[in-house]
Chains A and B, each alone.
Chain A
Amino acid sequence: MIFSFDLLAEALLFGVLLGCFYAAVSIGLSVSFGLLDVPNVAHPAVMVLGSYFTYVLAGYGFDPIVAGVVLMPAFFLLGMLIYRFYYESFERRGTEAGVRGLAFFFGLAFIIEVGLILAFGVDQRSVQAAYIGTSLALGEYRIPYRMLVAFGVALLLTFSLSLYLSKTFIGRAIKAVAQDEPALRLMGANPVRIKQWAFGIATGASALAGAMLIIVGPVEPALDRLYIGRTFCVVVLAGLGSMTGTLGAGLILGVAESIVLMFFGASWAPAVAFGLLLVVLGIRPQGLFGR
């Protein structure tokens, strides 16, 4: 096994870029599961759906990132619809529904996956852009531009969402709902509508995350299965409810995966996210930055 500090440094750099990407991919789940307590295991599937829509739009000449942004309002509405359905079917009926709600989202994830297979087939899809396929040369290091682009968009998405939640009125209402729902109700606000709005935002973020996913590499319908581990690992590691924690947790996962890739080979990398998740659940279930 070849070891050199250059290689380690390049792996770390790649890990940081990757980690930021993972954070952006998980931020929607941070809102829907971290803040709203909705067991949304279909979140990666919705994201892959976003990737495929990006692919379709890119076929018409859209730049993938532009396509992702264009899709956000549509996904926002989709999110609100899903939450409404979930609320009417489960949350309204009490705690026993928690288990059913989980089963519902698993069913939804598979329906989306099969729908994509029936519509697009199992073949991999990717997009073309000027920044895909070339890299930035820094001395001996080569950093693919697609990773830099994903990194940039991810940072932007994470910070905007963070700012939105802490600075705007609705954002703070969402946080309030997460912390103390009865109090909010007493103040006259409708928590269901706030939650619906929040879920919509989370899903809208997934659209952009999906665009980044297909920029970073090719997608296929079953890709969501791998990302269940990554997104939940990030959200749990961050601690439920912490937005900036998501960034930190994402970085930890990204670097961990990159290091494992370098030292133990590509065949162990898929287990990193899930392994880390189990470790966190076992040792410190409240996460690093959680409430």
Chain B
Amino acid sequence: MKRSRRNLLKAGAALAATAGIPRAAFAQAGPVKIGMSMPQTGSLGAGGQAALVALRLWVDDVNSRGGLLGRKVEFIVYDDQTNPANVPGIYTKLLDVDRVDLIIAPYGTVPTAPIMPMVKQRGLLLMGNFSFQVNAKVQHDMWFNNSPWNDAASWSDGFMKNGQRVGAKTIAFLAADQEFAQNLANGARELAKQGGMKAVYDQNYPPATTDFSSLIRSIRAARPDMVFVMSYPNDSVAIVRSVNEIGVGPSVKMFGGGMVGLQFTPNMVNLGSLLNGIVNYNSYVPGMKYPIDDFLGRYAKRAADAKVDPLGFYLPPFNYAIGQMLEQAVNGTRSLDHRQLAAYLRTNEMKTVVGPIRYDRTGEWASPRVVQAQFRGVVDKDMEQFRKPGKQVVIYPDEYKTGEVIAPFEKARSAK
């Protein structure tokens, strides 16, 4: 359903006049309100909290430069607790009670999925935040996802290709029954088939599963060469613990691939040596050439104050980049009209702390940059070890590669 800009203004003025709620800015005065829901507790919570620090940093930065269109930026954020059921109500509140001018999606596919139909029907620009293929069914044309992947191939190619290189012929899939993992699983299954891999195990588990012993046991019995896991932070941690507890068997050459949460600093520190040998995706590891150092330095100070992940490698730079892109679009079009901003984002290349970003017609990065890295030589209870390159050996793609994958999995766990 399309709304012309005039209708929006008319409705807004009528609302302001009749609804009795204090008049929000609709003329030229007042702040520019940017609203979002961010999972600050629940499975994605640790990542969300770090991302929020980066976003607030951007808000302060842009306000110190005079704000957007000469108006101060006001940032309104709620906690959806990684529960998709909370999200539609939060965005309805943001749009109809808080009357925000711009919205950013929550971090993660699972919290974002519920509002895709709503933003399409209300004709709103939505800045995606590390979601995976969440727009595939709805096909909203004002969706711009900030994450270093595009489709399933961009994610799993690194894992699959390395698997083939070490001689893997069979694969096991373990995926959570939720939007992210299912999107990725559907793509990965196709790619495995195309690559001549045989799937010897393929199971979905309910997202609330906490005990993975039976699943790991069944995987072991299937004797796969590779195990491709697609999980969210709570499950990822539980799976890593389970694999260390009862073992996945000597046949496995590579384990991991799509485990969200093993990039969050608190999880890395808590799991420590349990991570060794696992090959997993990441968006940034120290050593990669991004114009990021200044940002990381300023972020670290803020994060220490907020008592949140002080390294800030995985999400924070990308969330800061969302702010940067919005700023460039608003300054480029000198307006807050969603259609115009969308047109700008679609056609321009934007400069951010994670490098230049250009979008394809589905709203995803035109040039994906996902890395697959293997944890090696990680010791327990040490955060500083992750600051320098070496603990996460990048095995794909070539332009960021720092080493070869060590297989089998059991051998890699004790390698340095």
Contacts and interface: CB of A to CB of B under 8 A. Distances in A.
A2 B218 CA distance: 7
B201 A266 contact: no
Interface in B197-220: 200-201, 203-206, 209-211, 213-215, 217-218
A10 B245 contact: no
A265 B205 CA distance: 8
A121 B45 CA distance: 10
Interface residues of B, number: 29
Contacts, number: 65
Interface string A218-257: 1000000000000000000000000000000000000000
Contacts of A267: 177, 204-206
B214 A2 contact: no
Interface residues of A, number: 26
Contact of B42 (A14, A123, A142): A123
A30 interface: no
Interface in B125-182: 177
B305 to A, nearest CB: 20
A14 B213 contact: yes
B245 A123 contact: no
Given A121-B41, A261-B214, A262-B214, A135 B246 contact: yes
B42 A122 contact: yes
Interface string B71-96: 00000000001010000000000000
Given A7-B221, A218-B234, A266 B246 contact: no
B210 A270 contact: no
B214 A124 contact: no
Contacts of B213: 14, 144
Interface string B237-264: 0100100111100000000000000000
15 contacts: A2-B201, A2-B218, A4-B221, A6-B221, A14-B213, A14-B214, A121-B41, A123-B45, A133-B244, A142-B247, A216-B211, A265-B205, A266-B205, A266-B215, A267-B204
Interface of B: 41-42, 45, 81, 83, 177, 200-201, 203-206, 209-211, 213-215, 217-218, 221-222, 234, 238, 241, 244-247
Query: 6 tightest CB-CB pairs across the interface, nearest first?
Result: A142-B246, A266-B205, A217-B210, A121-B41, A261-B214, A2-B221
